[in-house]
Structure 1
Amino acid sequence: MKTNEIVSDTKLKKGSRELALQSYISLIPLAGGLSVSGIFFVLEMFTPLYMSLGVAGFGIAAMIGNLSFRQEHFKNEFMKVFNVKIQIENKKKIENIKKTLNNQKAVKQIELFEQKHDRFEEVLNNQLNSTSLAYQRLIGGFDQLNLIALNNIEKVLNYESNMVNIDLNYITKELETLNKKEVLTDYEESEIKSLETRISLRAEYEEKINRILSDNERALTKMDITLANLTELRKPENMKHVLQELQDLSEVLNKKAGSYN
Protein backbone atom coordinates (compact mmCIF):
# COMPACT_ATOMS: atom_id res chain seq x y z
CA MET A 1 0.00 0.00 0.00
CA LYS A 2 1.11 3.57 -0.69
CA THR A 3 2.60 5.43 2.25
CA ASN A 4 1.76 8.90 0.98
CA GLU A 5 -1.94 8.75 1.83
CA ILE A 6 -4.08 8.25 4.92
CA VAL A 7 -5.50 4.74 5.33
CA SER A 8 -9.16 4.92 4.30
CA ASP A 9 -11.94 2.68 5.65
CA THR A 10 -11.91 0.74 2.39
CA LYS A 11 -8.16 0.15 2.45
CA LEU A 12 -8.26 -0.75 6.12
CA LYS A 13 -10.99 -3.31 5.48
CA LYS A 14 -9.06 -4.80 2.57
CA GLY A 15 -5.79 -4.94 4.49
CA SER A 16 -7.35 -6.49 7.58
CA ARG A 17 -9.17 -9.05 5.44
CA GLU A 18 -5.88 -10.12 3.88
CA LEU A 19 -4.37 -10.52 7.35
CA ALA A 20 -7.36 -12.57 8.48
CA LEU A 21 -7.00 -14.89 5.50
CA GLN A 22 -3.29 -15.30 6.22
CA SER A 23 -3.78 -16.10 9.91
CA TYR A 24 -1.85 -19.21 10.94
CA ILE A 25 -4.80 -20.30 13.11
CA SER A 26 -6.76 -21.05 9.94
CA LEU A 27 -4.06 -21.55 7.31
CA ILE A 28 -2.02 -24.25 9.05
CA PRO A 29 -4.89 -26.67 9.78
CA LEU A 30 -6.50 -25.96 6.41
CA ALA A 31 -3.33 -26.51 4.40
CA GLY A 32 -2.15 -29.41 6.54
CA GLY A 33 -5.50 -31.18 6.55
CA LEU A 34 -6.02 -30.89 2.81
CA SER A 35 -2.45 -31.89 1.94
CA VAL A 36 -2.55 -35.20 3.81
CA SER A 37 -6.18 -36.03 3.05
CA GLY A 38 -5.29 -36.69 -0.59
CA ILE A 39 -2.67 -39.22 0.48
CA PHE A 40 -5.08 -40.99 2.83
CA PHE A 41 -7.71 -41.09 0.10
CA VAL A 42 -5.33 -42.77 -2.37
CA LEU A 43 -4.25 -45.26 0.28
CA GLU A 44 -7.91 -45.83 1.23
CA MET A 45 -7.12 -45.05 4.86
CA PHE A 46 -10.53 -43.65 5.65
CA THR A 47 -10.24 -43.05 9.38
CA PRO A 48 -7.16 -40.81 9.01
CA LEU A 49 -8.86 -39.28 5.96
CA TYR A 50 -11.88 -38.22 7.98
CA MET A 51 -9.61 -36.88 10.70
CA SER A 52 -7.57 -34.83 8.21
CA LEU A 53 -10.75 -33.47 6.65
CA GLY A 54 -11.90 -32.54 10.13
CA VAL A 55 -8.67 -30.63 10.68
CA ALA A 56 -9.18 -28.85 7.34
CA GLY A 57 -12.75 -28.12 8.36
CA PHE A 58 -11.47 -26.54 11.56
CA GLY A 59 -9.22 -24.33 9.45
CA ILE A 60 -12.17 -23.25 7.31
CA ALA A 61 -14.26 -22.56 10.42
CA ALA A 62 -11.41 -20.53 11.92
CA MET A 63 -11.10 -18.54 8.70
CA ILE A 64 -14.83 -17.78 8.69
CA GLY A 65 -14.60 -16.81 12.35
CA ASN A 66 -11.71 -14.46 11.65
CA LEU A 67 -13.60 -12.77 8.83
CA SER A 68 -16.88 -12.57 10.71
CA PHE A 69 -16.05 -11.97 14.36
CA ARG A 70 -12.44 -10.75 14.59
CA GLN A 71 -12.49 -7.87 12.14
CA GLU A 72 -11.55 -5.26 14.76
CA HIS A 73 -8.58 -7.36 15.86
CA PHE A 74 -7.17 -7.66 12.36
CA LYS A 75 -7.85 -4.00 11.58
CA ASN A 76 -5.84 -3.11 14.65
CA GLU A 77 -3.04 -5.49 13.67
CA PHE A 78 -2.97 -4.08 10.15
CA MET A 79 -2.66 -0.51 11.45
CA LYS A 80 0.08 -1.46 13.93
CA VAL A 81 2.19 -3.05 11.20
CA PHE A 82 1.57 -0.21 8.79
CA ASN A 83 2.33 2.45 11.40
CA VAL A 84 5.67 0.86 12.24
CA LYS A 85 6.53 0.96 8.55
CA ILE A 86 5.63 4.66 8.36
CA GLN A 87 7.57 5.51 11.52
CA ILE A 88 10.71 3.80 10.22
CA GLU A 89 10.38 5.59 6.89
CA ASN A 90 9.89 8.94 8.65
CA LYS A 91 12.95 8.43 10.83
CA LYS A 92 15.20 7.45 7.92
CA LYS A 93 13.99 10.35 5.80
CA ILE A 94 14.59 12.89 8.58
CA GLU A 95 18.11 11.58 9.16
CA ASN A 96 18.97 11.66 5.45
CA ILE A 97 17.53 15.12 4.85
CA LYS A 98 19.17 16.74 7.87
CA LYS A 99 22.60 15.51 6.79
CA THR A 100 22.71 17.72 3.70
CA LEU A 101 19.84 20.24 3.88
CA ASN A 102 21.10 23.84 4.00
CA ASN A 103 17.82 25.75 3.92
CA GLN A 104 17.35 26.78 7.55
CA LYS A 105 13.64 27.38 7.17
CA ALA A 106 13.17 23.83 5.89
CA VAL A 107 15.28 22.48 8.77
CA LYS A 108 13.10 24.40 11.22
CA GLN A 109 9.96 23.03 9.59
CA ILE A 110 11.18 19.47 10.15
CA GLU A 111 11.59 20.28 13.84
CA LEU A 112 8.11 21.82 13.95
CA PHE A 113 6.52 18.78 12.31
CA GLU A 114 8.22 16.58 14.90
CA GLN A 115 6.93 18.82 17.70
CA LYS A 116 3.37 18.67 16.34
CA HIS A 117 3.63 14.89 16.19
CA ASP A 118 4.84 14.66 19.80
CA ARG A 119 2.00 16.90 20.96
CA PHE A 120 -0.56 14.92 18.96
CA GLU A 121 0.72 11.68 20.47
CA GLU A 122 0.58 13.20 23.96
CA VAL A 123 -3.07 14.19 23.50
CA LEU A 124 -3.97 10.76 22.15
CA ASN A 125 -2.29 9.05 25.10
CA ASN A 126 -4.37 11.17 27.47
CA GLN A 127 -7.64 10.28 25.77
CA LEU A 128 -7.26 6.85 24.20
CA ASN A 129 -5.78 3.45 24.92
CA SER A 130 -2.65 3.11 22.79
CA THR A 131 -3.71 -0.41 21.78
CA SER A 132 -7.12 0.72 20.50
CA LEU A 133 -7.97 0.92 16.81
CA ALA A 134 -8.94 4.59 17.15
CA TYR A 135 -5.49 5.41 18.54
CA GLN A 136 -3.70 3.45 15.83
CA ARG A 137 -5.68 5.10 13.05
CA LEU A 138 -5.16 8.63 14.35
CA ILE A 139 -1.46 8.33 15.13
CA GLY A 140 -0.98 6.54 11.82
CA GLY A 141 -2.78 9.32 9.99
CA PHE A 142 -0.59 11.97 11.59
CA ASP A 143 2.56 9.95 10.82
CA GLN A 144 1.53 9.68 7.19
CA LEU A 145 0.83 13.41 7.06
CA ASN A 146 4.33 14.07 8.39
CA LEU A 147 5.78 11.75 5.77
CA ILE A 148 4.06 13.66 2.97
CA ALA A 149 5.48 16.93 4.32
CA LEU A 150 8.94 15.34 4.55
CA ASN A 151 8.67 14.15 0.95
CA ASN A 152 8.07 17.76 -0.04
CA ILE A 153 11.01 18.98 2.04
CA GLU A 154 13.12 16.33 0.35
CA LYS A 155 12.34 18.11 -2.91
CA VAL A 156 13.77 21.28 -1.38
CA LEU A 157 17.00 19.34 -0.91
CA ASN A 158 16.96 18.24 -4.56
CA TYR A 159 16.33 21.77 -5.81
CA GLU A 160 19.07 23.08 -3.53
CA SER A 161 21.51 20.63 -5.09
CA ASN A 162 20.48 21.75 -8.56
CA MET A 163 20.94 25.41 -7.61
CA VAL A 164 24.44 24.78 -6.26
CA ASN A 165 25.44 23.48 -9.67
CA ILE A 166 24.43 26.79 -11.26
CA ASP A 167 27.13 29.33 -10.37
CA LEU A 168 25.29 32.64 -10.49
CA ASN A 169 28.43 34.75 -9.97
CA TYR A 170 30.19 33.06 -12.85
CA ILE A 171 27.18 33.46 -15.13
CA THR A 172 26.75 37.14 -14.21
CA LYS A 173 30.39 37.93 -14.97
CA GLU A 174 30.27 36.08 -18.28
CA LEU A 175 27.13 37.93 -19.32
CA GLU A 176 28.65 41.28 -18.35
CA THR A 177 31.70 40.53 -20.47
CA LEU A 178 29.69 39.40 -23.47
CA ASN A 179 27.18 42.24 -23.28
CA LYS A 180 29.97 44.82 -23.38
CA LYS A 181 30.91 43.70 -26.86
CA GLU A 182 29.49 45.74 -29.70
CA VAL A 183 29.53 42.83 -32.13
CA LEU A 184 28.89 39.23 -31.15
CA THR A 185 29.76 36.11 -33.02
CA ASP A 186 27.17 33.39 -33.51
CA TYR A 187 28.69 31.22 -30.80
CA GLU A 188 28.75 34.17 -28.37
CA GLU A 189 25.06 34.84 -28.98
CA SER A 190 24.41 31.15 -28.38
CA GLU A 191 26.45 31.33 -25.18
CA ILE A 192 24.36 34.26 -23.91
CA LYS A 193 21.16 32.28 -24.48
CA SER A 194 22.60 29.30 -22.61
CA LEU A 195 23.70 31.44 -19.68
CA GLU A 196 20.30 33.14 -19.49
CA THR A 197 18.59 29.74 -19.57
CA ARG A 198 20.63 28.64 -16.56
CA ILE A 199 19.64 31.80 -14.69
CA SER A 200 15.99 31.04 -15.45
CA LEU A 201 16.41 27.47 -14.23
CA ARG A 202 17.94 28.68 -10.99
CA ALA A 203 15.06 31.11 -10.49
CA GLU A 204 12.57 28.28 -11.09
CA TYR A 205 14.24 26.11 -8.46
CA GLU A 206 14.18 28.98 -5.98
CA GLU A 207 10.51 29.67 -6.70
CA LYS A 208 9.61 26.00 -6.19
CA ILE A 209 11.47 25.92 -2.87
CA ASN A 210 9.56 28.98 -1.69
CA ARG A 211 6.24 27.42 -2.71
CA ILE A 212 7.01 24.18 -0.88
CA LEU A 213 7.97 26.00 2.30
CA SER A 214 4.90 28.23 2.08
CA ASP A 215 2.59 25.23 1.65
CA ASN A 216 4.26 23.52 4.59
CA GLU A 217 3.63 26.59 6.73
CA ARG A 218 -0.07 26.35 5.92
CA ALA A 219 0.03 22.65 6.81
CA LEU A 220 1.63 23.45 10.17
CA THR A 221 -1.10 25.99 10.87
CA LYS A 222 -3.77 23.44 9.99
CA MET A 223 -2.11 20.96 12.35
CA ASP A 224 -2.28 23.52 15.16
CA ILE A 225 -6.00 24.00 14.51
CA THR A 226 -6.55 20.24 14.53
CA LEU A 227 -4.60 19.89 17.79
CA ALA A 228 -6.72 22.59 19.39
CA ASN A 229 -9.89 20.66 18.56
CA LEU A 230 -8.88 17.23 19.87
CA THR A 231 -11.66 16.54 22.36
CA GLU A 232 -13.57 13.43 23.42
CA LEU A 233 -11.83 11.19 20.92
CA ARG A 234 -13.48 8.13 22.42
CA LYS A 235 -16.61 9.18 20.57
CA PRO A 236 -16.50 7.57 17.10
CA GLU A 237 -17.88 10.68 15.39
CA ASN A 238 -15.12 12.87 16.89
CA MET A 239 -12.41 10.39 15.93
CA LYS A 240 -13.72 10.20 12.38
CA HIS A 241 -13.87 13.99 12.16
CA VAL A 242 -10.19 14.32 13.11
CA LEU A 243 -9.25 11.51 10.74
CA GLN A 244 -11.11 13.29 7.94
CA GLU A 245 -9.24 16.52 8.69
CA LEU A 246 -5.94 14.65 8.39
CA GLN A 247 -7.16 13.04 5.17
CA ASP A 248 -8.18 16.40 3.69
CA LEU A 249 -4.82 17.95 4.53
CA SER A 250 -2.91 15.00 3.10
CA GLU A 251 -4.84 15.29 -0.16
CA VAL A 252 -4.04 19.00 -0.38
CA LEU A 253 -0.32 18.38 0.23
CA ASN A 254 -0.24 15.50 -2.26
CA LYS A 255 -1.97 17.61 -4.88
CA LYS A 256 0.45 20.48 -4.36
CA ALA A 257 3.39 18.07 -4.44
CA GLY A 258 2.52 17.28 -8.05
CA SER A 259 2.99 20.94 -8.97
CA TYR A 260 6.55 21.02 -7.62
CA ASN A 261 7.93 18.71 -10.30
Structure 2
Amino acid sequence: MKQIDFSQSAIKKEVTSRILQHPISIYAILFGGVGLFFWLINLFGGVILFVAIGVLAVGTISFIVNYFRKDSIQMKYITLLNAQMQQHKERVVTRLKQKLEKFREAKRLSLYSTQAEEQYEKVREKFDTFTDILQSKLDPTEITFQRFLGTVEQLYLAVLDNLEKVVLTLEGMHTTKLDYIEKRLRHLHALDNPEQADLDEIETLNKRKESWETRREKVNKLLTHNEQAMTEIDLAMSGITEAETKAGRASVDMEYARDELDRLIERIKQ
Protein backbone atom coordinates (compact mmCIF):
# COMPACT_ATOMS: atom_id res chain seq x y z
CA MET A 1 0.00 0.00 0.00
CA LYS A 2 1.31 3.46 -0.95
CA GLN A 3 2.48 5.48 2.05
CA ILE A 4 0.00 8.14 3.15
CA ASP A 5 1.32 11.50 4.30
CA PHE A 6 -0.27 12.48 7.63
CA SER A 7 1.91 15.57 8.09
CA GLN A 8 0.18 18.86 8.86
CA SER A 9 1.25 20.37 5.53
CA ALA A 10 -0.07 17.43 3.49
CA ILE A 11 -3.41 17.37 5.32
CA LYS A 12 -3.79 21.15 5.00
CA LYS A 13 -3.06 20.95 1.26
CA GLU A 14 -5.70 18.26 0.75
CA VAL A 15 -8.32 20.10 2.80
CA THR A 16 -7.68 23.36 0.93
CA SER A 17 -8.05 21.51 -2.35
CA ARG A 18 -11.38 20.03 -1.22
CA ILE A 19 -12.68 23.43 -0.14
CA LEU A 20 -11.70 25.07 -3.42
CA GLN A 21 -13.06 22.19 -5.49
CA HIS A 22 -16.40 21.84 -3.73
CA PRO A 23 -19.02 21.30 -6.49
CA ILE A 24 -21.44 23.99 -5.25
CA SER A 25 -18.69 26.61 -5.09
CA ILE A 26 -17.19 25.71 -8.45
CA TYR A 27 -20.44 25.49 -10.44
CA ALA A 28 -22.01 28.53 -8.79
CA ILE A 29 -18.99 30.70 -9.54
CA LEU A 30 -18.73 29.26 -13.05
CA PHE A 31 -22.37 29.88 -13.94
CA GLY A 32 -22.30 33.26 -12.21
CA GLY A 33 -19.28 34.24 -14.27
CA VAL A 34 -21.00 33.13 -17.48
CA GLY A 35 -24.06 35.17 -16.49
CA LEU A 36 -21.92 38.26 -15.97
CA PHE A 37 -20.31 37.73 -19.36
CA PHE A 38 -23.73 37.57 -21.06
CA TRP A 39 -24.78 40.74 -19.20
CA LEU A 40 -21.63 42.56 -20.32
CA ILE A 41 -22.38 41.79 -23.95
CA ASN A 42 -26.04 42.79 -23.40
CA LEU A 43 -27.32 39.37 -24.45
CA PHE A 44 -30.08 38.93 -21.87
CA GLY A 45 -30.48 42.41 -20.40
CA GLY A 46 -30.62 43.33 -16.73
CA VAL A 47 -32.34 40.14 -15.52
CA ILE A 48 -29.24 38.06 -16.12
CA LEU A 49 -27.24 40.44 -13.89
CA PHE A 50 -29.44 39.73 -10.87
CA VAL A 51 -29.34 35.98 -11.60
CA ALA A 52 -25.54 36.07 -11.97
CA ILE A 53 -25.09 38.01 -8.72
CA GLY A 54 -27.38 35.57 -6.91
CA VAL A 55 -25.52 32.54 -8.21
CA LEU A 56 -22.14 34.09 -7.37
CA ALA A 57 -23.43 34.84 -3.88
CA VAL A 58 -24.35 31.16 -3.46
CA GLY A 59 -20.84 30.12 -4.56
CA THR A 60 -19.21 32.64 -2.24
CA ILE A 61 -21.34 31.60 0.73
CA SER A 62 -20.56 27.95 0.00
CA PHE A 63 -16.83 28.71 -0.01
CA ILE A 64 -17.05 30.68 3.26
CA VAL A 65 -19.10 27.95 4.97
CA ASN A 66 -16.65 25.24 3.87
CA TYR A 67 -13.71 27.36 5.00
CA PHE A 68 -15.12 27.58 8.51
CA ARG A 69 -15.87 23.84 8.35
CA LYS A 70 -12.25 23.00 7.49
CA ASP A 71 -11.66 21.18 10.79
CA SER A 72 -14.66 18.96 10.10
CA ILE A 73 -13.50 18.35 6.52
CA GLN A 74 -10.02 17.53 7.81
CA MET A 75 -11.37 15.05 10.34
CA LYS A 76 -13.53 13.31 7.70
CA TYR A 77 -10.55 13.05 5.35
CA ILE A 78 -8.27 11.56 8.01
CA THR A 79 -11.02 9.17 9.15
CA LEU A 80 -11.41 8.01 5.53
CA LEU A 81 -7.67 7.35 5.22
CA ASN A 82 -7.67 5.39 8.48
CA ALA A 83 -10.64 3.31 7.30
CA GLN A 84 -8.83 2.46 4.06
CA MET A 85 -5.75 1.35 5.97
CA GLN A 86 -7.91 -0.71 8.32
CA GLN A 87 -9.38 -2.60 5.37
CA HIS A 88 -5.93 -3.19 3.91
CA LYS A 89 -4.63 -4.37 7.28
CA GLU A 90 -7.46 -6.88 7.66
CA ARG A 91 -6.74 -8.36 4.23
CA VAL A 92 -3.01 -8.65 4.93
CA VAL A 93 -3.54 -10.18 8.39
CA THR A 94 -5.88 -12.84 7.00
CA ARG A 95 -3.41 -13.83 4.29
CA LEU A 96 -0.45 -13.92 6.67
CA LYS A 97 -2.11 -16.12 9.29
CA GLN A 98 -3.08 -18.68 6.65
CA LYS A 99 0.27 -18.80 4.83
CA LEU A 100 2.78 -18.70 7.67
CA GLU A 101 1.39 -21.84 9.27
CA LYS A 102 2.19 -24.05 6.28
CA PHE A 103 5.95 -23.55 6.62
CA ARG A 104 6.19 -24.79 10.21
CA GLU A 105 7.14 -28.30 9.08
CA ALA A 106 9.46 -27.21 6.26
CA LYS A 107 12.91 -28.18 7.57
CA ARG A 108 14.94 -25.41 5.92
CA LEU A 109 12.26 -22.73 6.17
CA SER A 110 10.80 -23.22 9.64
CA LEU A 111 13.48 -21.05 11.28
CA TYR A 112 12.41 -18.04 9.22
CA SER A 113 8.69 -18.77 9.26
CA THR A 114 8.78 -19.13 13.05
CA GLN A 115 10.52 -15.77 13.41
CA ALA A 116 7.96 -14.23 11.03
CA GLU A 117 5.08 -15.63 13.11
CA GLU A 118 6.64 -14.26 16.29
CA GLN A 119 7.10 -10.84 14.67
CA TYR A 120 3.48 -10.88 13.56
CA GLU A 121 2.31 -11.45 17.14
CA LYS A 122 4.77 -8.94 18.63
CA VAL A 123 3.99 -6.10 16.24
CA ARG A 124 0.25 -6.58 16.76
CA GLU A 125 0.78 -6.36 20.52
CA LYS A 126 2.94 -3.26 20.10
CA PHE A 127 0.32 -1.60 17.91
CA ASP A 128 -2.36 -2.18 20.55
CA THR A 129 -0.07 -0.82 23.26
CA PHE A 130 0.83 2.18 21.11
CA THR A 131 -2.86 2.93 20.59
CA ASP A 132 -3.48 2.77 24.34
CA ILE A 133 -0.62 5.21 24.97
CA LEU A 134 -2.00 7.62 22.38
CA GLN A 135 -5.43 7.48 24.00
CA SER A 136 -3.84 8.31 27.35
CA LYS A 137 -2.03 11.31 25.85
CA LEU A 138 -4.61 12.67 23.43
CA ASP A 139 -8.36 12.94 23.07
CA PRO A 140 -9.50 10.43 20.38
CA THR A 141 -11.79 13.12 18.96
CA GLU A 142 -8.81 15.40 18.27
CA ILE A 143 -7.37 15.70 14.77
CA THR A 144 -3.86 15.23 16.20
CA PHE A 145 -4.89 11.85 17.63
CA GLN A 146 -6.34 10.70 14.30
CA ARG A 147 -3.26 11.82 12.38
CA PHE A 148 -0.92 10.09 14.81
CA LEU A 149 -3.07 6.95 14.81
CA GLY A 150 -2.92 6.90 11.01
CA THR A 151 0.87 7.12 11.09
CA VAL A 152 1.14 4.34 13.68
CA GLU A 153 -1.22 2.21 11.59
CA GLN A 154 1.00 2.77 8.57
CA LEU A 155 4.02 1.66 10.57
CA TYR A 156 2.14 -1.49 11.58
CA LEU A 157 1.23 -2.10 7.94
CA ALA A 158 4.83 -1.56 6.81
CA VAL A 159 5.96 -4.39 9.09
CA LEU A 160 3.06 -6.59 7.92
CA ASP A 161 3.88 -5.84 4.28
CA ASN A 162 7.45 -6.95 4.95
CA LEU A 163 6.12 -10.16 6.47
CA GLU A 164 3.98 -10.69 3.38
CA LYS A 165 7.11 -10.33 1.23
CA VAL A 166 8.75 -12.91 3.47
CA VAL A 167 5.86 -15.32 2.91
CA LEU A 168 5.93 -14.87 -0.87
CA THR A 169 9.69 -15.45 -0.92
CA LEU A 170 9.38 -18.52 1.30
CA GLU A 171 6.80 -19.94 -1.09
CA GLY A 172 9.25 -19.60 -3.95
CA MET A 173 12.02 -21.19 -1.88
CA HIS A 174 9.72 -24.04 -0.91
CA THR A 175 9.06 -24.95 -4.55
CA THR A 176 12.79 -24.97 -5.36
CA LYS A 177 13.26 -28.22 -3.38
CA LEU A 178 16.82 -27.65 -2.18
CA ASP A 179 17.13 -31.21 -0.80
CA TYR A 180 16.53 -32.59 -4.28
CA ILE A 181 19.10 -30.21 -5.79
CA GLU A 182 21.79 -31.17 -3.29
CA LYS A 183 21.04 -34.86 -3.73
CA ARG A 184 21.42 -34.57 -7.51
CA LEU A 185 24.64 -32.56 -7.16
CA ARG A 186 26.16 -35.20 -4.88
CA HIS A 187 25.26 -37.86 -7.41
CA LEU A 188 26.64 -35.93 -10.38
CA HIS A 189 29.89 -34.97 -8.61
CA ALA A 190 30.45 -38.64 -7.75
CA LEU A 191 30.47 -39.66 -11.41
CA ASP A 192 33.89 -40.80 -12.65
CA ASN A 193 33.32 -39.79 -16.26
CA PRO A 194 30.49 -37.23 -16.41
CA GLU A 195 29.04 -36.55 -19.83
CA GLN A 196 28.33 -33.05 -21.17
CA ALA A 197 24.68 -33.41 -20.18
CA ASP A 198 25.81 -34.13 -16.63
CA LEU A 199 28.02 -31.04 -16.59
CA ASP A 200 25.13 -28.95 -17.95
CA GLU A 201 22.88 -30.30 -15.23
CA ILE A 202 25.45 -29.40 -12.56
CA GLU A 203 25.54 -25.86 -13.92
CA THR A 204 21.76 -25.39 -13.92
CA LEU A 205 21.37 -26.99 -10.49
CA ASN A 206 23.99 -24.63 -9.07
CA LYS A 207 22.09 -21.68 -10.51
CA ARG A 208 18.93 -22.83 -8.75
CA LYS A 209 20.86 -23.32 -5.53
CA GLU A 210 22.32 -19.81 -5.80
CA SER A 211 18.85 -18.42 -6.46
CA TRP A 212 17.59 -20.17 -3.32
CA GLU A 213 20.43 -18.68 -1.28
CA THR A 214 19.76 -15.19 -2.68
CA ARG A 215 16.15 -15.46 -1.60
CA ARG A 216 17.17 -16.74 1.82
CA GLU A 217 19.34 -13.65 2.26
CA LYS A 218 16.38 -11.48 1.21
CA VAL A 219 14.15 -13.10 3.84
CA ASN A 220 16.81 -12.66 6.50
CA LYS A 221 17.19 -8.97 5.56
CA LEU A 222 13.42 -8.33 5.70
CA LEU A 223 13.14 -9.99 9.11
CA THR A 224 16.10 -7.95 10.37
CA HIS A 225 14.44 -4.74 9.16
CA ASN A 226 11.34 -5.71 11.10
CA GLU A 227 13.37 -6.33 14.26
CA GLN A 228 14.95 -2.90 13.87
CA ALA A 229 11.51 -1.38 13.32
CA MET A 230 10.12 -2.95 16.48
CA THR A 231 13.07 -1.57 18.44
CA GLU A 232 12.31 1.89 17.05
CA ILE A 233 8.63 1.42 17.95
CA ASP A 234 9.62 0.68 21.56
CA LEU A 235 11.77 3.82 21.63
CA ALA A 236 8.95 5.88 20.11
CA MET A 237 6.47 4.59 22.69
CA SER A 238 8.91 5.46 25.46
CA GLY A 239 9.37 8.96 24.05
CA ILE A 240 5.64 9.56 23.77
CA THR A 241 5.03 8.24 27.27
CA GLU A 242 7.55 10.74 28.61
CA ALA A 243 6.32 13.63 26.44
CA GLU A 244 5.58 16.76 28.43
CA THR A 245 1.94 17.52 28.98
CA LYS A 246 2.28 21.28 29.50
CA ALA A 247 -0.02 23.45 27.40
CA GLY A 248 1.27 23.64 23.86
CA ARG A 249 4.26 21.41 24.55
CA ALA A 250 2.57 18.03 24.20
CA SER A 251 1.44 18.76 20.64
CA VAL A 252 4.99 19.78 19.70
CA ASP A 253 6.47 16.60 21.19
CA MET A 254 3.83 14.45 19.51
CA GLU A 255 4.37 16.10 16.14
CA TYR A 256 8.10 15.49 16.37
CA ALA A 257 7.48 11.85 17.29
CA ARG A 258 5.06 11.48 14.39
CA ASP A 259 7.66 12.84 11.96
CA GLU A 260 10.17 10.34 13.32
CA LEU A 261 7.71 7.51 12.69
CA ASP A 262 7.25 8.75 9.11
CA ARG A 263 10.98 8.47 8.55
CA LEU A 264 10.96 5.00 10.11
CA ILE A 265 8.23 3.86 7.69
CA GLU A 266 10.33 5.04 4.75
CA ARG A 267 13.33 3.05 6.01
CA ILE A 268 11.26 -0.11 6.51
CA LYS A 269 9.92 0.08 2.95
CA GLN A 270 13.35 0.47 1.36
Give the TM-score band, short-chain normalised.
Answer: 0.7 to 0.9
Q: What is the TM-score normalised by the length of structure 1?
A: 0.84
Which residue type is aligned with residue 136 of structure 2? N
- The change in CA–CA distance for 1:96 and 1:39 in structure 2 (over 3 A counts) is farther
Q: Deviations over 1:72-112 (max 9, x none)?
A: 33333321111111111111111122221231221221222
Does residue 154 of structure 1 match 2:153?
no
Q: Distance in 1 between matches of 2:192 and 2:42?
A: 99
Partners of 1:19 and 1:78 within 8 A in 2: no
- Measure how far apart 1:193 and its partner are: 0.9
**Residues 239 and 208 (structure 1), Cα distance of their counterparts in 2 relative to 1, 3 Å cut:** same
The 1:84/1:31 distance shift into structure 2, 3 A limit, reads farther
Distance 1:49 1:90 in 2: 54
- What corresponds to 1:258 in structure 2? none
Moved more, 55-64 or 184-193: 55-64
Deviation at 1:127, TM superposition (A): 2.3
Over residues 105-135 of structure 1, what are the superposed CA-to-partner deviations in whole Å (9 max), with x where a residue is unaligned? 2122122222122112112222222121100
Counterpart in 1 of 2:108? none
Q: Tell me how far apart the structure 1 counterparts of residues 202 and 70 of structure 2 sit (CA, whole Å).
A: 67
Which of the pair has the greater relative contact order for Cα pairs under 8 Å at 6+ separation? 1
Q: How many residues align?
A: 253
Q: Which residue of 2 aligns with 1:239?
A: 254
In 2, the alpha carbon distance for the partners of 1:30 and 1:99 equals 54
Residue 57 of structure 1 deviates from its aligned partner by: 2.6
Matched residue, 1:138: 148
> Distance between the aligned counterparts of 2:189 and 2:59, measured in 1?
83
Match of 1:221 among 207, 231, 237: 231
Note if 1:9 corresponds to 2:8.
Answer: yes
Q: Which residue of 2 aligns with 1:166?
A: 176
Deviation string, structure 1 residues 10-58 (Cα, Å, up to 9, x no partner):
3222211222234356356546766888999998374465145313333
Q: 1:20 to 1:193 in 2, by over 3 A?
A: same
Structure 1 unpaired stretches of 5+: 256-261
Q: Specify which of 245, 248, 261 is matched with residue 263 of structure 2.
A: 248
Q: Verify the 8 A CA contact 1:117 1:143 in the aligned structure 2.
A: yes
Question: 1:150 is matched by which residue type in structure 2?
Answer: L
Counterpart AA for 1:53 = I
Q: Percent identity?
A: 26
Would the alpha carbon gap of residues 99 and 185 (structure 1) be closer, same or farther in structure 2, given more than 3 Å must change?
Answer: same
Partner of 1:60: 60
Distance (Å, rounded) in 1 between the aligned partners of 2:118 and 2:168: 17
The one-letter code sitting in structure 2 at the alignment partner of 1:63 is F
Task: State the Cα RMSD in Å.
Answer: 2.7
Matches within 5 A, 1:23-34: 23=22, 26-27=25-26, 29-30=28-29
Instruction: Give the Cα–Cα distance (whole angstroms) in 2 for the partners of residues 119 and 130 of structure 1.
Output: 15
Return the alpha-carbon distance in structure 2 between the equivalents of residues 169 and 146 of structure 1: 36
TM (norm. structure 2) is 0.82
CA gap of 1:39–1:6, structure 2 versus 1, over 3 A, is closer
* Residue 81 (structure 1) aligns with: 80
Structure 1 residue 180: deviation in Å? 0.9
Match of 2:117 among 90, 100, 107: 107
Gaps of 5+ in 2: 104-112
Kept in 2, the 8 Å contact 1:5–1:250? The answer is no
Shift in alpha-carbon separation, 1:31–1:121, aligned structure 2, 3 A? farther
Equivalent position SS for 1:3: coil
Matching of residues 190-209 of structure 1 within 5 Å? 190-209=200-219
CA deviations over 1:219-248 (Å, ceiling 9, x no partner): 111111111222346622112111122112
Aligned to 1:181: 191
1:30-41 equivalences in 2 (<5 Å):
30=29
Please report how far the alpha carbon of residue 144 of structure 1 lies from its aligned counterpart in structure 2 after TM superposition. Answer: 0.9
Change beyond 3 A, Cα 1:55–1:213: same
Structure 2 Cα separation of the partners of residues 62 and 127 of structure 1? 36
Q: Which of 102, 126, 129 is the aligned partner of 2:136? A: 126
